[in-house]
């Protein structure tokens, strides 16, 4: 199946949805502290999106084939949880690391972004994993340009992660996004430069590497959603949505409070 090239009108809508995704993360940042539950974080993000932004949280009741409907409005993945953590009664405690992944829909278009947050003060190992994973995402972003290949992205990410002794999760990947939450192409976070799909201006997809401190293997919890590392090692993830341009790419999910881009 073909990868959709967005029209100028769609690109404009994706810029708006992308910025709004970043702004949900900006909004929630000061609320992340010991004693808060992931369910409270979900509720705050839900209300901000619906009442303040006029956006729809795409995860709520999202049900891809083979999955039961996701019951919450955001994903909260703590410590050895890799992705798709379901918010609930869990109390955050100092030293936890937490990924918050948000996907607001505005005017029919999706913005998808996630960041890592520290609860209180992280261990040196946890901080290093989060920082290296952030660099991995940006190395992937910097590999994007029209005329380049999808494999350039995964190769850049894998090389950086493995150079630090970390491993790349294989089972989940970045994805095309627009009017649909998940569309083609699949953006692998490992691979070989110069292989795969030829990138064209107007493509929009996410780059969202999941990097484990230990082995790459994962398993799914009984809730049918939460993914954890098999060896219980820490895992980190960052996500941006990007537009392919002739010069490189435009990161659509930046916002005033986003951590600074990593330069070339």
- Other residues' Cβ atoms within 10 Å of the Cβ of residue 93: 13
| Segment interacting with Co ion (CB under 5 A) among 42-50, 111-119, 128-136, 221-229 | 111-119
Q: Which two tokens stand for residue 228?
A: 């954890």
Distance separating alpha carbons of residues 17 and 132, to the nearest angstrom: 27
| Per CB under 6 A, 42 contacts ligand MF3 | no
**Beta-bridge mates of residue 135:** none
Shortest Å distance, C-beta 231 to ligand MF3: 23
Nearest-approach distance from CB 161 to ligand MF3, in angstroms: 18
**DSSP character at residue 239:** B
- Taking CB under 6 A as the criterion, the residue among 239, 244, 251, 252 binding ligand MF3 is 239
Q: Which residue among 70, 109, 190, 205 contacts ligand MF3 (CB under 6 A)?
A: 70
- Residue among 101, 111, 130, 140 that touches ligand MF3 (CB under 6 A): 101
**Starting at the edge strand that comes first in sequence, how are the strands of the sheet with 204-207 ordered?**
183-187, 174-176, 204-207, 240-244, 249-251
Q: How many residues bind ligand MF3 (CB under 6 A)?
A: 12
CA dihedral (200, 201, 202, 205) positive or negative: positive
For ligand MF3, the closer of residues 83 and 249 by Cβ is 83
Closest distance of CB 18 from ligand MF3, Å: 13
Cross-strand partners of 240: 207
Is residue 144 part of the contact set for ligand MF3 (CB under 6 A)? Answer: no
Which listed residue (23, 42, 96, 112) binds Co ion by CB under 5 A? Answer: 112
152 binds ligand MF3 (CB under 6 A): no
Task: Give the up-direction half-sphere exposure of residue 224: CA atoms within 13 A in the CB hemisphere.
Answer: 10
Element (H, E) at 186: strand 183-187
Residues 167-206, interacting with ligand MF3 (CB under 6 A): 206
């Amino acid at each position: 199946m073909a990868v959709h090239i967005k029209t100028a009108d769609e690109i404009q809508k994706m810029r708006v949805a992308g910025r709004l995704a970043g702004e949900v993360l900006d909004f929630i940042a000061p609320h992340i502290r010991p004693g808060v539950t992931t369910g409270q974080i979900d509720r705050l993000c839900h209300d901000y999106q619906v009442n303040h932004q006029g956006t729809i949280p795409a995860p709520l009741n999202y049900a891809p084939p083979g999955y039961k409907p996701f019951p919450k409005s955001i994903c909260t993945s703590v410590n050895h949880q890799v992705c798709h953590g379901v918010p609930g009664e869990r109390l955050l405690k100092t030293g936890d690391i937490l990924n918050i992944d948000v996907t607001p829909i505005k005017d029919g278009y999706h913005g998808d972004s996630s960041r890592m947050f520290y609860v209180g003060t992280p261990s040196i190992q946890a901080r290093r994993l989060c920082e290296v994973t952030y660099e991995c995402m940006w190395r992937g972003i910097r590999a994007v340009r029209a005329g380049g290949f999808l494999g350039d992205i995964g190769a850049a990410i894998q090389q950086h992660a493995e150079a630090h002794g970390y491993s790349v999760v294989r089972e989940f990947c970045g994805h095309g996004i627009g009017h649909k939450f998940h569309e083609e192409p699949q953006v692998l976070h490992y691979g070989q430069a110069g292989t795969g799909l030829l990138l064209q201006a107007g493509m929009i997809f996410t780059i969202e590497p999941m990097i484990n401190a230990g082995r790459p293997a994962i398993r799914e919890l009984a809730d049918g959603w939460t993914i954890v590392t098999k060896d219980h090692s820490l895992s980190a993830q960052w996500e941006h949505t990007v537009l392919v341009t002739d010069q490189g790419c435009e990161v659509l999910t930046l916002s005033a409070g986003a951590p600074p881009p990593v330069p070339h």
